[in-house]
Structure 1
Amino acid sequence: MNHMLQKLLLSVFVLVCFSAFLNAQERDLAKGTKKFNQYAFVDSQKIFLRVAEEGYESADLFAKLADSFYYNADYDDAAKWYAKLVEKYAQEVTPNQYFRYAQALRAIEDYETSNEMISKYESLAETQGTDYDNSVSISELKSGNAMGTFTVERLSANTVGYSDFAPAYYGEKLLFSSTRDTGNLTRRVHSWNNQPFLDLYVGDIVDQGQLNGVSKFNGSINTEFHESTATLSPDGKTLYFTRNNFTNETYRTDKRNTNKLKLYKATLADDGTFGNVVELPFNTNSFSTAHPAVSPDGKTLYFSSDRDGTYGESDLWKVEITENGFGTVENLGADINTPGRDTFPFVDADGKLYFSTDGRGGLGGLDVYVYDSEKSSISNLGEPVNSPKDDFTFIFDAESGNGYFASNRQNDPLDDDIYTFTREACESTLIVQVIDKNTRKPLNGARVGIRDIDNELLTSGVAEAPDAKFNFDDPDCGADYFARAEMEGYATAEKNVTIPEQSSEVTVVIELEPSIVDIPPDFDLGKLINPIYFDFDKSFIRPDAAVELAKIIEIMKEYPQLRIDVRSHTDSRGIDSYNMALSERRNKSTIEYIVEKGGIDRDRLTGRGYGETQLLNECSNGVPCTEEQHQLNRRSEFIVQDY
């Protein structure tokens, strides 16, 4: 950041340390008439509930049960099964499952647990390398426009060789800090660098954010010491600003003889000037308090300080502004503050908190970040706002898209300049394409719905020919949306998408899987379940295989006339004759399990072992293969017979 602020404002101590979707939509499905219309029939609620009631457990079983309730808007039961999934199979829970669980909890007003699941979702997504927290790599930051399209221009009102920084809105004017030499021969200079002390200046904002008529700020605020980083209350009656510890004409230091920074306020007088300067009550001589920012509603004052409880060199803090003064000072917490310098806060009209820090990597020096409390996300603004040098004192008018910040990117570190910028309007389009998962062909006529993070249906319509596309125009940049597609004869599917901060065309492809509404002859029911695997050279039923066989049992109960031919296979390792005998033993074990555990009539089951005679890959005798390749051949098939 501005080393003038570092070296001038903070004396010796610390130079610049202050320097839901996924909630199911209403479904127009006739209950009880389509048993197997989603995730194939084996995954219907009825079958999975029966499996679960038999005492079988697996992550896959609980997840599909939870999803089936979730997609039917039964959030109480969805939350129950997601809870079982998280409790017993935490290591197998996917980010999306955590997210759906959180949305289900929100729907039943369990907000505390929902937030916990959102945290797990974000943590797990991060470990898998997905950019869920809006953080970006250095190369992405340097590519520009990380948080939108900015056009940046240096103010012509900057003074060469002097520091200009800390812009602040002051009605139709711009208030800022400067060490500029006004030609006053008696002006004091700081003994540390032979430059004048900081004072507040003001200028008229004209075309493209430039300034005219710059002059020293009127009133009794400027003194022989430093005045800097000011902010005007929303009602225009109070000005908060930073000054050296100089109160009532008395210059004070701490025990180490270091003069700290303090916050002061001045009130508007009848003549239009600010005076009656008062030190704020939460200052002390032992630490610095600086760089104020008032919330848009005028109820909260943000600032930077190295007071007790600070996580790093300086932290961001806040305090309530009351009718009688101020409330209790609060640290903004470790989610925002870092071990480095967190400083120069500003809150825009949308409630977004902008600040500078060197504790998050970034491009170098102080970088400008934005904290979005609604998303609980912190993002680096990237170039051209940030640079390898210090970038700080960022302010922004969200309505006009114009703003200012300071940087020493072009000059000596002691020579900060103010830059004006325009953030261009973001105009994006979200395109949803719906295709058949197996054939990859477009599903023209599919129904598409777009919902926001709070499960509000924003728009819906039909995926139109020839490419089965549905357009959602003008989504909010930086917002999260959820797109769902459904079509008769297919399982409903959905995807979440984040719209970039800059103008873009985002395309999301949703793949719908055909539903099985009937069981054709010669169909392998094994395709509808997870593979039935046996350990090498073994024929006993493993626990994971028991769960899958339970699904076969429920299918046979659902269809009493169904007959199945069970076919057991081995891999090629071992003697051919031995493998044939092994497959026979596995076949017998499989059939006996279905009969004894499931209560299925033995006459409905036939089968035999095929040994290694029907391999699925090239892993025959003598061919080197991985364990995974061999495992594919150690399988069971459940072939539907005529019924």
Structure 2
Amino acid sequence: MFKKLQLSIVVLVCFSTFVYAQERDLSKGTKKFNQYAFVDSQKIFLRVAEAGYESADLFGKLADSYYYNADYDDAAKWYAKLVEKYPQEVTPNQYFRYAQTLRATEDYDASDAMIKKYEELAQAEGDGYDNAVSINEIKSGNAFGTFEIERLSANSVGYSDFAPAYFGEKLLFSSTRDTGTLTTRIHSWNNQPFLDLYIGDITDQGQVNGVSKFKGSVNTEFHESTASLSPDGNTLYFTRNNFTNEVYRADKKNTNKLKLYKATRTGDGPFGDVQELPFNSDSFSTAHPAVSADGKTLYFSSDREGTYGESDLWKVEITENGYGTVENLGADINTPGRDTFPFVDADGKLYFSTDGRGGLGGLDVYVYDSEKNSITNLGEPVNSPKDDFTFIYDTESSTGYFASNRSNDPLDDDIYTFTRAACESTLIVQVIDKNTREPLNGAQVGIRNIDNELIIAGVAEAPDAKFNYENPDCGADYFARAEMEGYATAEKNVTIPEKSSEVVLVIELEPSIIDIPPDFDLAKLINPIYFDFDKSYIRPDAAVELAKIIEIMKEYPQLRIDVRSHTDSRGNDAYNMALSERRNKSTIDYIVEKGGISRDRLTGRGYGESQLLNECSNGVSCTEEQHQLNRRSEFLVQDY
């Protein structure tokens, strides 16, 4: 017994030592994870997992460490273990990230299942989000145009090149490429050298030549990336680690956050006088600037207080004296995921990347049109199952650039150039008879813009009554109006797609005078109306039936109706005759006054108690329901 107890103590001590060692390693890995040292944290978490230690926290952090380095295959493997072994401990955000990794690996059915899990948990916690995105719609047709893409030859093999930005006739971008220095600092996030800004000349074909390191005092020993030049060319906004005036700062967890800086220059000189923007903080990241075309607004990404997801898009006014109040772009744009890398084109459209809207997988590029209040996925080939981001676009040349890791190791981003094909569309308006479906050749057609200004007008020509409007503005809204003698004018609105299309709009005209069919029977459509005892006012139930009559008389302008009103047998005959006349008058007045029907289309009189519908005559005992049947106005077609 003593030996068994001794053996149990030894086993318990060994097991406790094992658990303590794994928990100590897990604590180290968590510390690295919280400092965004994902490569280091992966090594530690993997060592713990391979030793047989399991927990929801371990699997979740291991999956996240791969997810944030865009290694979606390995991320999916660890999210799967988390969901399978610890389903009760999976958070909504972990289901969400798992769904995104599955999209990146093109397992869309499984992704949809995880999205449903996410939505159920998120709604239960009061933080629901509608993530319904049709993958087929994104893949089958690009609603924003047709793109031809080409990888830049200036990309450096084995290193990351991304964040293209226009710099006059040059392209500014961020890269981890080897600079040839004796000491290359490696970042623990992704095990690559630190980022610096580089610049090159844009060729006529959109390629970039003569790449060199960006001059001036912008680049440092830490990260610099995602820059945006002001319209006057004298201020450069860019992202850098929290490193100001040669001082490196971190938050309470010893994590160095990202901040926005600006550098200025005079004339064609180098950029210097680097200053930190005043709305940064040591406790959250502020990054990826984008200046509006008018230079009045700065857009950026941040995980500051008030963020809906992991990072949100924000904006701030650029004033003569500094900056206005920082504003979140709102839940219509931001998601529970990563919303980042904004860019605003000359037309005011906001492009950004997010993994919070489903899409094809990873980060996808979307465009927000404030005039239409619409958000559109750019579709293939700009987007892919991997990360696609830092999209910029020149509206004048219909060309631009973006970055993606689709072709390489997840940490090896490349820049692509693209040309957006010209949109040449035709709007075809066809005018037909609503009833016969026959073409109405000769109908007048007018096309108006959203401000109701006439753009073009013409005739719907034989044989199909069609009018063609060539080259309408792609993405624009129009109203097409059709008119023809003998028909009521009608119009429809239409939105021209962003890609070359032939849009057919059918306008149905309804005859203004409709022939009444021979078998027309008003009695089948309209019930009599009833009155309270000794009353002549129109009851609510009677008003419903009279509304039907009004609509029928409007539809058939030549229809004439005779109104016949009655009473029950109670009361003397003379009184009842007068009461029926009052009921007849109130019935006709209602149709004329409420419906706008001409009085000369209505005739009628009161019949007192002379036309009872049952045996309830003078002296006969009847129920109230039986008497009610006789207190009525009836409607007969008089002429048509």
Match of 1:406 in 2: 403
Quick check: which has more Rg, 1 or 2? 2
CA shift, 1:494, in A, is 1.5
User: Structure 1-normalised TM-score?
Assistant: 0.66
Write out per-residue CA displacement over residues 590-623 of structure 1, whole angstroms, 9 at most, x where no aligned residue: x998776227644799xx9xxxxxxxxxxxxxxx
Structure 2: unaligned runs, 5 residues or longer:
1-34, 42-60, 71-129, 530-539, 565-580, 590-601, 612-633
Q: In the superposition, relative to structure 1, how do residues 324 and 516 fare at CA in structure 2: closer, same or farther (>3 Å)?
A: same
Match runs of 1:158-237 below 5 Å: 158-237=155-234
Match of 1:490 in 2: 487
Q: Is the contact between residue 521 and residue 641 of structure 1 (CA under 8 Å) also seen in structure 2?
A: no
Match runs of 1:427-466 below 5 Å: 427-466=424-463
CA shift, 1:380, in A, is 0.9
Write out per-residue CA displacement over residues 2-29 of structure 1, whole angstroms, 9 at most, x where no aligned residue: xxxx96899999989999xxxxxxxxxx
Match of 2:500 in 1: 503
Q: State the alpha-carbon separation in 2 of the partners of residues 604 and 489 from structure 1.
A: 38
Q: State the alpha-carbon separation in 1 of the partners of residues 477 and 408 from structure 2.
A: 40
Match of 1:598 in 2: 588
Q: In the superposition, relative to structure 1, how do residues 565 and 384 fare at CA in structure 2: closer, same or farther (>3 Å)?
A: same
Q: Is the contact between residue 269 and residue 275 of structure 1 (CA under 8 Å) also seen in structure 2?
A: no
Match of 1:311 in 2: 308
CA shift, 1:455, in A, is 1.4
Match runs of 1:177-576 below 5 Å: 177-269=174-266, 272-516=269-513, 522=518, 524=520, 526=522, 531-532=525-526, 544-551=544-551, 562=560
Residue type of the partner of 1:137?
S
Q: Is the contact between residue 430 and residue 472 of structure 1 (CA under 8 Å) also seen in structure 2?
A: yes
CA shift, 1:281, in A, is 1.1
Q: Is the contact between residue 429 and residue 505 of structure 2 (CA under 8 Å) also seen in structure 1?
A: yes
CA shift, 1:277, in A, is 0.9
Structure 1: unaligned runs, 5 residues or longer:
1-5, 20-132, 567-590, 609-636
Q: State the alpha-carbon separation in 1 of the partners of residues 144 and 553 from structure 2.
A: 54
Q: State the alpha-carbon separation in 2 of the partners of residues 136 and 431 from structure 1.
A: 30
Aligned length: 464
Q: Is the contact between residue 189 and residue 196 of structure 1 (CA under 8 Å) also seen in structure 2?
A: yes
Q: Is the contact between residue 9 and residue 261 of structure 1 (CA under 8 Å) also seen in structure 2?
A: no
CA shift, 1:487, in A, is 0.6
CA shift, 1:151, in A, is 0.3
Q: Is the contact between residue 474 and residue 498 of structure 2 (CA under 8 Å) also seen in structure 1?
A: yes
Q: Is the contact between residue 173 and residue 202 of structure 1 (CA under 8 Å) also seen in structure 2?
A: yes
Match runs of 1:114-125 below 5 Å: none
Q: Is the contact between residue 522 and residue 637 of structure 2 (CA under 8 Å) also seen in structure 1?
A: no
Write out per-residue CA displacement over residues 474-506 of structure 1, whole angstroms, 9 at most, x where no aligned residue: 111111111111111011111111111110111
Q: State the alpha-carbon separation in 2 of the partners of residues 594 and 492 from structure 1.
A: 36
Q: State the alpha-carbon separation in 1 of the partners of residues 277 and 368 from structure 2.
A: 26
Q: State the alpha-carbon separation in 1 of the partners of residues 471 and 553 from structure 2.
A: 50
Q: Is the contact between residue 199 and residue 223 of structure 1 (CA under 8 Å) also seen in structure 2?
A: yes
Residue type of the partner of 1:524?
F
Q: Is the contact between residue 562 and residue 604 of structure 1 (CA under 8 Å) also seen in structure 2?
A: no
Q: Secondary structure at the match of 1:410?
A: coil
Q: State the alpha-carbon separation in 1 of the partners of residues 40 and 283 from structure 2.
A: 13
Match of 1:148 in 2: 145
Q: Secondary structure at the match of 1:464?
A: coil
Match of 2:97 in 1: none
Q: In the superposition, relative to structure 1, how do residues 526 and 230 fare at CA in structure 2: closer, same or farther (>3 Å)?
A: farther
Q: State the alpha-carbon separation in 1 of the partners of residues 302 and 39 from structure 2.
A: 11
Residues 175-184 or 270-279, more deviating: 270-279
Residue type of the partner of 2:257?
K
Q: Secondary structure at the match of 2:546?
A: helix
Q: In the superposition, relative to structure 1, how do residues 374 and 270 fare at CA in structure 2: closer, same or farther (>3 Å)?
A: closer
Q: State the alpha-carbon separation in 2 of the partners of residues 638 and 203 from structure 1.
A: 86
Q: State the alpha-carbon separation in 1 of the partners of residues 487 and 39 from structure 2.
A: 67
Residue type of the partner of 1:466?
P
Q: State the alpha-carbon separation in 2 of the partners of residues 592 and 501 from structure 1.
A: 64
Residues 356-365 or 225-234, more deviating: 356-365
Q: In the superposition, relative to structure 1, how do residues 136 and 315 fare at CA in structure 2: closer, same or farther (>3 Å)?
A: closer
Q: In the superposition, relative to structure 1, how do residues 367 and 489 fare at CA in structure 2: closer, same or farther (>3 Å)?
A: same
Identity of paired residues, percent? 74
Q: Secondary structure at the match of 2:186?
A: coil
Q: Secondary structure at the match of 1:481?
A: strand
CA shift, 1:191, in A, is 3.7
Q: Is the contact between residue 428 and residue 475 of structure 1 (CA under 8 Å) also seen in structure 2?
A: yes
Q: Which has the higher contact order (CA 8 A, sep 6+)?
A: 1
Q: Is the contact between residue 8 and residue 197 of structure 1 (CA under 8 Å) also seen in structure 2?
A: no
Residue type of the partner of 2:544?
D
Residue type of the partner of 2:335?
T
Q: State the alpha-carbon separation in 2 of the partners of residues 554 and 500 from structure 1.
A: 39
Q: Is the contact between residue 38 and residue 69 of structure 2 (CA under 8 Å) also seen in structure 1?
A: no
CA shift, 1:363, in A, is 1.3
Q: Is the contact between residue 564 and residue 604 of structure 1 (CA under 8 Å) also seen in structure 2?
A: no
CA shift, 1:346, in A, is 0.3
Q: Secondary structure at the match of 1:548?
A: helix
Q: Secondary structure at the match of 1:442?
A: coil
Q: Is the contact between residue 164 and residue 174 of structure 2 (CA under 8 Å) also seen in structure 1?
A: yes
Q: Is the contact between residue 563 and residue 605 of structure 2 (CA under 8 Å) also seen in structure 1?
A: no
Q: In the superposition, relative to structure 1, how do residues 318 and 8 fare at CA in structure 2: closer, same or farther (>3 Å)?
A: farther
Q: Is the contact between residue 133 and residue 358 of structure 2 (CA under 8 Å) also seen in structure 1?
A: no
Q: State the alpha-carbon separation in 2 of the partners of residues 565 and 542 from structure 1.
A: 14
CA shift, 1:523, in A, is 7.0
Q: State the alpha-carbon separation in 2 of the partners of residues 638 and 486 from structure 1.
A: 35
Q: In the superposition, relative to structure 1, how do residues 564 and 165 fare at CA in structure 2: closer, same or farther (>3 Å)?
A: same
Residue type of the partner of 1:547?
A
